[in-house]
Structure 1
Amino acid sequence: MRTRLLAVLAAAVVLAGCTSATTTAPSGSASGSAALPTPTIGLTYIPNVQFSPFYVAEADGDFTSAGVAPVLRHHGTSEGLFTAILAGQEQFVVAGGDELMQARAQGSDLVAVAAYYRSYPVEVIVPDGSAIHSLADLKGHSIGLPGKYGENWFGLQVALKTAGLTESDVTVQEIGYTQQAALSTGKVDAIVGFSNNEAVQFALSGFATRSLPIVESGEVPLVGICLVTTAAYAADHPEVVKVVAAGMLAGIRTVVDDPDHAMDVSATYVPGLSAAAAQASAKATLTATTKLWTTAEGKVDGHLDADQWTAMADFMAAQGLTDSRVDPTPAFSNAYLG
C-alpha cells in the first residue's frame, strides 16, 4: 500500500521509532497484574487523516483501557511495507489483503486479523471531457500509476480483466506518485487512483474528472486494507491482538460518528493540519474514507469474508500476481474479534 495507502497531504514524518519492548499493563487493564507487551503499529506512510481511527483510539484510551499502550509508527518513504514487521520491529501494520497474499507467496507468515477498509478503494480516473466512458474504452490509451506493484497495479489488473483487455491493449506508464499532475497536464489519458485520495484532490483543485469502477458489477476480487500481524505473534500474544483490533474498530466508530472530534485529534498528529487549506482537504478525505470504513449499511465491522479471500487467491494466481495459488485459509482470521 505504499499508497499506496497514502502518499498525500504532508511531508514524510516518523512519529515514533520502532520498539518491541514490554511494559507493565496500565492500571485497570483486563490483564490484571500481568505485563502485556507494548506493540508497535506500522502506519504507512505519512501522518494523514486516513489514519485517524488509530489517533483517536490512542487519544481516547481505547487501547490503554484494555491494558495495552501501542506505539504508532509511520514508515519512512523508502521503507518496505512489511520490512519492519518481518524484522520484529513492528508487531502490526495496516496493509492490503492482496499485498499480504503476495508476501505470503514469498514465504512470510503474515495474517490479517481485522478489516480496516470494507471496500476496495482503487478506481480508474479520467478527465471529465475524456472520450473514455467505460473500461473497454481504455484500449489504445495511456494509463498512469505509481508503478507495477501494490494496490494500484492489482486494481489495474482487475480493470483490464473486467474490460476484456490485456496490458498490450494499453500503454502503462509508471509515473510515481504524480497521478494528479500527469492527468491534469495530459501526460496520460487515465490514471489508477484512490477514491479517498486522487479523486478527492482533483475535486478540491477544480479539475473535473470522472471515476470508473474497476468492476462493472459484483465484488472486487481483492481484499482492501486490513490490520495485519504475524501468525507467530498472534499465537504468542492473542490478548494483545484482540485489544489492538478492538481499539482500532472503536476508533473507526468514533471517527464515523464524530468526524469533528477526529479532526481535532488528528491535528495533534498531522503536521500543518490546523491550516485552513489543509483542514478543507482533510475533511474531504475523511468523508471519502468513511465510505471505505463502513459497510453498505453504514456499519463498522472488522470481520473478514472467506469467500472474498478465496476469490482473491484465485484471481491473483490466474493473473500471475503470485507464482502459484496461495491458500487463503491461514492468511486471515476472525478469531481475535469480539
Structure 2
Amino acid sequence: MTFRARLAAAVGLAALTLAACAAPPTGEPSGEETTAGAGGASPAAAGAVTVGLTYVPDIQFAPFYVADAKGYYDEAGVDVTLRHHGQSEQLFTAIAAGQEDVVVAGGDEMLQARSQDVPLLSVATLYQEYPVVLIVPEDSPITSPADLAGHSVGVPGPFGETYFGLLALLGAAGLTEADVDVEHIGFTQQAALAAGHVDAVMGFVNNDAVNFAGAGMAVRTIEIPPNADGVTPLVGIGLGVLDETAASRPDDVAAVVEATLRGAADVAADPAAAVELAADYVPDLDRPDRQQAALATLEATVPLYGEASAFGAQDPATWAAMVAFMTERGLLEADVDAADAWTAKFLPAATN
C-alpha cells in the first residue's frame, strides 16, 4: 500500500493516504506504536498482538483506530498494539522478523511476498473492490482502457498496486506496456497530471481522485475492467499473518479479524464519527481542513468495503485469477498455489 508519499504540501492529509499501498520496499523497521497499550507485552506474549499499519498515522487506518478506541479488541480478548511503519520501511520486514503478528497490505502484495519466501496468508480482505483506477482530465479523449494506446500514463514506479493495476487495465484492453508511454513519476500524480506531463495517471479512487477534487481539478476515473471470466484479477487491501501465526495462534487471529471488521462496520455507518475518533491517533486531525479531507477520503473508501454482509470476505475466483495474472506477468518469483495464499476460516460466521 503503500503510500510512501513524496507529495507537495498542498496535497495535505488526503494525499498521504496513497502511500501505504504502493511504495517499493526500502529500509529497516523503524515504526512507532500509537495505542494506549503501546508499551505492553511483546508480540509473542499470549493475547498480545502487534498489528502493522504500513504507513505513518493516517485516516486510511480508521477501522483499526475505531476498533481500538471503542474497546473492540479488548472485548475480543486480545491486547492489540497498533504499530505504524516509517515512511521508508519495507512492508513485510517487521512481520518477517517477528516484530508484528498481523500486517495490513494488498492481497497482491502479500501474494508477491509469498513467492519470495515470506509465507504470508491473507485472513481477511478489507477492500472488496480494487481501489486503483486510471485517472484522466475531464476533457481527455481517453474514455476507455483501449484509448490509452499511444498515450502517456504515470505510475509511481514498477511496483505495488498502481503498477499491478496498470498491467491489469492494459491486459483487459489487449494492450501491453509497449503500446503506451509508461512514465515513472514517483508519488506526484496530482502535479504530473495537472501540469500535463502525462496524459493519465494510475491512482487510488479513495485518495488521488479525492485529491484532484479537493484541488478543484475536474477528472474522470476509469476502472480496471474484469477479465474474460468476469473477474478483476487483483485482490485489494486486507489482513495478513505468517503461516506459523495462523497455525499457533488461531484464536488471536480470529479475534483481531472480528474486532477490525466491527471497526470497519462503524466507519461505514458513520464516517464523520470515525474521523472524530481518529483525531486521537492522527496528528493535526483536529484541524477543520484536515477533518474535511479525511471525511472525503472515508466517504470514498466505504464503497470499497462492499456489502455489510460481506465485510472481510475472500473470493476464491479472484484469488485464482490473481495468481494466474501475476504469474503470467512475471510478478511472482516462484509458483504459488492460490489455495495456500488465503483462508476464510478466521472470518466471523456471518461473513464466512
TM-score (norm 1): 0.90
1:220 alignment partner, one of 224, 227, 232: 232
Q: Does the C-alpha gap of structure 1 residues 154 and 5 become closer, same or farther in structure 2, counting only changes over 3 Å? A: farther
- 1:70-149 → structure 2 map (5 Å cutoff): 70-149=80-159
Match of 1:301 among 302, 311, 314: 311
SS, match of residue 133 in structure 2: strand
2:73·2:80 contact (CA, 8 Å) conserved in 1?
A: yes
Do the aligned partners of 2:226 and 2:232 also contact (CA within 8 Å) in 1? no
1:1-338 map, 5 Å: 1-3=1-3, 9-10=12-13, 14-16=31-33, 21-22=41-42, 36-215=46-225, 218-295=230-307, 298-338=308-348
Q: How far apart are the structure 2 equivalents of 1:184 and 1:23?
A: 45
Distance 1:6 1:44 in 2: 16
RMSD: 2.3
Once the two structures are TM-superposed, the CA of residue 219 in structure 1 deviates from its matched residue by 2.7
Q: Secondary structure at 2:79's aligned position in 1?
A: coil
Look up the equivalent residue of 1:148 and give its one-letter code.
P
CA distance in 2 between counterparts of 1:306 and 1:136 reads: 28
Q: Following the alignment from structure 1 to structure 2, what is the Cα–Cα distance between the partners of residues 22 and 216?
A: 43
What amino acid is the match of 2:342?
A: F
How many pairs were matched up?
Answer: 326
Partners of 2:6 and 2:187 within 8 A in 1:
no
CA distance in 2, matches of 1:291, 1:299: 13
TM-fit CA distance, 1:14 = 4.9
Deviations 1:274-322 (A, max 9, x none): 2121111111101000011123xx5452221111111111111111111
Tell me if structure 1 keeps the 8 A contact 2:43–2:49.
no
More displaced 10-residue stretch of structure 1: 256-265 or 89-98 = 256-265
Return the alpha-carbon distance in structure 1 between the equivalents of residues 67 and 39 of structure 2. Answer: 19
Alpha-carbon offset, residue 59 of structure 1 = 0.5
Secondary structure of 2:324's partner? helix
Amino acid of the structure 2 residue aligned with 1:54: F
Encode CA deviations 1:44-101: one digit per residue, 9 max, x unaligned: 2122212111000000000001211211011111111111101111111111111111
CA contact (8 A) 2:43 2:101 kept: no
Q: Label 1:23 to 1:104 Cα distance change in 2 as closer, same or farther (>3 A).
A: closer
For structure 1, the 5+ residue unaligned runs are 25-34
C-alpha distance in 2 between matches for 1:329 and 1:163: 28
CA distance in 2, matches of 1:300, 1:60: 22
Question: Which secondary structure state, in structure 1, belongs to the residue aligned with residue 90 of structure 2?
Answer: coil
How far the C-alpha of 1:260 sits from its partner, in A, is 2.5
1:123-174 CA distance string (max 9 Å, x none) = 0001111121111111111111111001001000001101111111111111
Distance (Å, rounded) in 1 between the aligned partners of 2:88 and 2:32: 16
Deviates more, 1:43-52 or 1:143-152: 43-52
Do the aligned partners of residues 6 and 303 (structure 1) sit closer, same or farther apart at CA in structure 2, a change above 3 Å counting? farther
Shift of 1:9: 4.0
Q: Which moved more, 1:324-333 or 1:202-211?
A: 324-333
* 1:323/1:123 CA distance change after superposition, 3 Å: same
Q: Distance in 2 between matches of 1:151 and 1:269?
A: 26
Identity %: 48
Match of 1:28 in 2: none
